């Protein structure tokens, strides 16, 4: 149940709170009664920007979710657009502040709503054998389990080829993230475990080409061996929503 707290500088129509609630409900895809709007009007004299007077009349919106939106960028774009339309204000004057209070915990009518940690499985047999999840989402963070260069048929992908194996690992990580849905640009850190550090340039080339300008933090370390002798690299990744 999202709560939207509006601070509107300048005039606003008398029925604007209901119109904003209805418009936000469409953005969130929620039934009537599931979006709450609280509105406060601010006199132009009570708003100022450094450097002197201004004719800008902005709208400040605090958005409180019990859960962090998966596709927050898309939600921001759509929510900004409907607020701009309802208030007849330029979209550049609409400012949203997301506030998952108490780390995503809020109380509605005295009942505490807790943001649940979610675990995602791929169905691979190793997950049950070892007891792990393919991916875990905790609030705005996503942790992807170490990913080996496995072909679709379960065999080792491009055995003995460092560049191809590194690229395969990264592609499989992105495939997992697509379930949320996220992509490579959401990855903030990678860790590369390699069996031969002398091949670092080939591993690094795949990493560089895959990420392009959205470079994450990374680590590359040599390990004695991986689960199969013909696997040269395993990569794990952390992402943000």
For the stretch 111-146, pLDDT in tens is 555 556 789 999 888 899 999 999 998 877 899 999
Arithmetic mean of pLDDT, 75-97: 91
Q: Residue 71's pLDDT band (boundaries 50, 70, 90)?
A: low
Please name every residue paired with 40 in a beta bridge, in sequence order, or none if there are none.
7
Cβ atoms of 142 and 135 within 8 Å: the answer is yes
Higher pLDDT, 220 or 106: 220
Are residues 84 and 146 part of one domain?
no
Query: Mean of the pLDDT values across residues 150-173?
Result: 97
pLDDT at residue 210 is higher than 60: yes
Helical spans, DSSP H, in the chain: 16-28, 72-87, 101-104, 125-130, 162-177, 200-211
Whether 147 and 92 map to the same domain: the answer is no
Q: What share of the chain is helix, strand, coil (3-state, %, to 5)?
A: 35, 30, 40
Last residue of a domain, one of 113, 130, 158: 113
Q: Are residues 10 and 32 in the same domain?
A: yes
pLDDT for res 105: 47
Asked whether residue 236 falls in the same domain as residue 148, the answer is yes
pLDDT reported for residue 173: 98
Same-domain pairing of 17 and 109: yes
| Claim to verify: residue 85 and residue 137 sit in the same structural domain | no
Say yes or no to pLDDT of 55 above 80. Answer: no
Q: By the 8 A CB rule, do 12 and 65 touch?
A: no
Q: Which pairs with CB-CB distance under 8 Å and at least 24 residues apart come from 146-149?
A: 146/191, 146/193, 146/234, 146/235, 146/236, 147/172, 147/173, 147/176, 147/234, 147/235, 147/236, 147/237, 148/226, 148/227, 148/228, 148/231, 148/233, 148/234, 149/231, 149/232, 149/233, 149/234
Q: Please indicate, yes or no, whether residues 21 and 106 belong to a single structural domain of this protein.
A: yes
**Residues 156 and 232 placed together within one structural domain of the fold:** yes
What is the domain extent for residue 65? Answer: 3-113
| Number of domains within the chain | 2
Query: In 82-194, which ranges are E strands?
Result: 94-98, 106-108, 111-113, 118-120, 135-138, 141-147, 187-194
Cα torsion for 186, 3, 67, 217, to the nearest 10°?
30
Label residue 36 by pLDDT band (50, 70, 90).
Answer: very high
- Domain boundary (113, 148, 174) is at 113
Confidence of residue 74 (pLDDT cuts 50, 70, 90): confident
At residue 102, the pLDDT reads 45
Mean pLDDT of the chain: 88
- Tell me the average pLDDT across 216-239: 97
The CATH number given to whatever domain includes residue 41 is 3.30.429.10
Residue 208 belongs to domain with CATH number: 3.30.1330.40
pLDDT at 70: 60
The contacts of residue 175 (CB under 8 Å, 6+ apart) are none
Residue 86 has pLDDT above 60, yes or no: yes
- The answer to whether residue 217 scores a pLDDT higher than 60 is yes
Which one of 85, 113, 141 terminates a domain? 113
What pLDDT does 69 receive?
Answer: 61
226 in the same domain as 136: yes
Q: How close are the terminal C-alpha atoms of the chain, in Å?
A: 19
Q: Which residue is associated with the tokens 């370390």?
A: 221
Residues 28 and 109 in one domain: yes
Contact residues for 47 (Cβ-Cβ < 8 A; gap 6+) = 9, 57, 58
- The string of pLDDT tens digits covering residues 166-190 is 999 999 999 999 988 899 999 999 9
Quote the DSSP letter at residue 181. T
Query: 129 with 102, same domain?
Result: no
94-98 β-sheet, strand order:
36-42, 3-9, 59-64, 94-98
pLDDT for residue 189: 98
Q: 87 and 193 share a domain?
A: no
């Amino acid at each position: 149940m999202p709560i939207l707290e509006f601070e509107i500088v300048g005039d606003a129509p008398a029925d604007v709170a209901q119109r904003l609630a209805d418009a936000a409900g469409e953005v969130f895809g929620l039934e009537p009664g599931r979006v709450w709007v609280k509105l406060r009007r601010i006199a132009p004299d009570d708003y100022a920007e450094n450097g002197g007077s201004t004719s800008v009349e902005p709208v400040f919106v605090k958005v409180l979710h019990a859960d962090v939106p998966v596709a927050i960028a898309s939600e921001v774009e759509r929510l900004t657009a409907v607020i701009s339309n309802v208030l007849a204000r330029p979209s550049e004057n609409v400012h949203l502040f997301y506030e998952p209070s108490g780390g995503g915990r809020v109380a509605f009518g005295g009942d505490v709503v807790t943001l649940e940690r979610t675990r995602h499985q791929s169905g691979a047999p190793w997950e049950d054998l070892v007891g792990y999840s393919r991916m875990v989402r905790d609030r705005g963070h996503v942790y992807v389990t170490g990913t080996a260069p496995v072909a679709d048929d379960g065999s080792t992908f491009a055995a003995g080829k460092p560049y191809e194996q590194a690229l395969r690992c990264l592609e499989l990580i992105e495939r997992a993230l697509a379930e949320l849905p996220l992509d490579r640009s959401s990855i903030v850190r990678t860790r590369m475990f390699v069996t031969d550090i002398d091949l670092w340039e080939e591993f690094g080339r795949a990493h560089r080409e895959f990420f392009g300008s959205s470079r994450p933090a990374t680590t590359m370390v040599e390990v004695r061996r991986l689960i199969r002798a013909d696997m040269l690299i395993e990569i794990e990744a952390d992402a943000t929503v």
